Amino acid sequence: MPHKFSEDRRHKIAKQKFKVTNWAAYNESLRQRGDLTVWVSDEALSQWSAQRRTSRGGQPKYSDLAITMCLTVRVVYELPLRQTQGLMRSIAALMGVEITVPDFSTLSRRSKGLALPPVRRRTACWRPVHLVVDSTGLKVFGEGEWLENKHKIKVKRKRWRKLHLGLDLVSGEIVCSDLTTDDVGDPIALSDLLGQIDGPVGKFIADGAYDGAATRDLLTTRLGEIVEVIIPPPKTAVASSQSALNPTVRDRHIAKIETKGGRMAWQKSTGYNQRSRVETQMGRWKTVIGPKLKARNLDNQKTEAKIGVRVLNRMTELGHPEFSRVA
């Protein structure tokens, strides 16, 4: 939003300059992202085989942890399933571990509805989360523009999925996520996102797509009255009829925009500009994980998205740059 308001005078605004103050630690964290020992641990190899089931039916050969580790390696190194199988076989041989590696068809079949092992939150669960949410589109498959231009044929509609992310501003960790079809709106997906947070939420920030009575009622029901909600009202928004006696949070935002210097001043005073951090996380996803999903059906794509969240959180845990403004 700030970029839109200053677009006509963008060339007159000096670009801010920052300096990374922890280059040594950050460089080492970037090296560790490619280290196989970060993604393939001895603990996972020791729990490779599945526990024997007592009910009727076939016995699983590989544990959920083993399947998760193989799929994690696939996401990190952007490999097809067959190449993932080959890489895991070579890792087992180099480490001298006598295990059988699941084939590509097993990885595809088991990834459908895979129950990922629980992970420990890096921050204390009692600390209120400063939650900022947003969504972006991920490509699935379909003929590209080259085929359309070269052969002059009508390609089928390009499909895509909608990735919803919730970021904790304090820790930089993705605390909730969901992958839906492209027809699911942001306010509708918000209910599942909030259900993944097991602690209190002190602040909620979102863009104007979440503005509405349904979102406000949901936040009040799930998070309580004390949560600070920062959602920009549209330009055409008007105060409610009871704003004079009992103004809502939305009414106070509208009044502040009208009386305190406009929308840009409101963004700065409320901290709404911090929403850009989740947009940065979206760009990071498409750079590190990729802009396209490899799986073909929605259940497998959901598993792929969950593993992608774990990969980004693990990279954040390894280290991130610290900046100081120099100009």
If asked whether residues 133 and 101 sit together in one domain, one would say no
Q: Residue 117 — φ and ψ, nearest 5°?
A: -60, 145
If asked whether residues 211 and 66 sit together in one domain, one would say no
Residue 172 lies in a domain: yes
> Which value, in Å, is the radius of gyration of the alpha carbons in the chain?
23
If asked whether residues 66 and 169 sit together in one domain, one would say no
Residue 8 lies in a domain: no
Which portions of the chain are predicted below pLDDT 70?
1-13, 120-125, 141-158
Q: What's the CA gap between 323 and 244, in Å, rounded? A: 44
If asked whether residues 93 and 172 sit together in one domain, one would say no
If asked whether residues 277 and 321 sit together in one domain, one would say no
Residue 124 lies in a domain: no
In this prediction, residue 53 carries a pLDDT of 74
Domain total in the chain: 2
In this structure, what CATH number is given to the domain that contains residue 257? 3.30.420
Residue 158 lies in a domain: yes
If asked whether residues 149 and 284 sit together in one domain, one would say yes
In this prediction, residue 16 carries a pLDDT of 81
In this prediction, residue 10 carries a pLDDT of 61
In this prediction, residue 276 carries a pLDDT of 92
Q: What's the CA gap between 271 and 281, in Å, rounded? A: 18
Residue 2 lies in a domain: no
CB atoms within 10 A of CB 273: 13
Q: What's the CA gap between 232 and 268, in Å, rounded? A: 12
In this prediction, residue 158 carries a pLDDT of 61
Residue 123 lies in a domain: no
If asked whether residues 240 and 159 sit together in one domain, one would say yes
If asked whether residues 141 and 236 sit together in one domain, one would say yes
Joined together, the tokens standing for residue 91 give 């890792």
If asked whether residues 88 and 222 sit together in one domain, one would say no
**What is the rounded end-to-end Cα distance, in angstroms, of the chain?**
22
Q: Which residues are within 8 A (CB) of 100 and not within 5 positions of it... i.e. 6 or more apart?
A: 61
Answer for the pair 48, 62: CB distance below 8 angstroms, yes or no: yes
If asked whether residues 96 and 228 sit together in one domain, one would say no
If asked whether residues 138 and 267 sit together in one domain, one would say yes
pLDDT tens by residue, 41-72: 887 788 898 887 777 777 788 999 999 999 99
If asked whether residues 34 and 76 sit together in one domain, one would say yes
Tell me if the pTM is above 0.75: yes
Q: Which residues are within 8 A (CB) of 91 and not within 5 positions of it... i.e. 6 or more apart?
A: 36, 40
Residue 221 lies in a domain: yes
Range of the domain at 172: 129-292
Residue 96 lies in a domain: yes
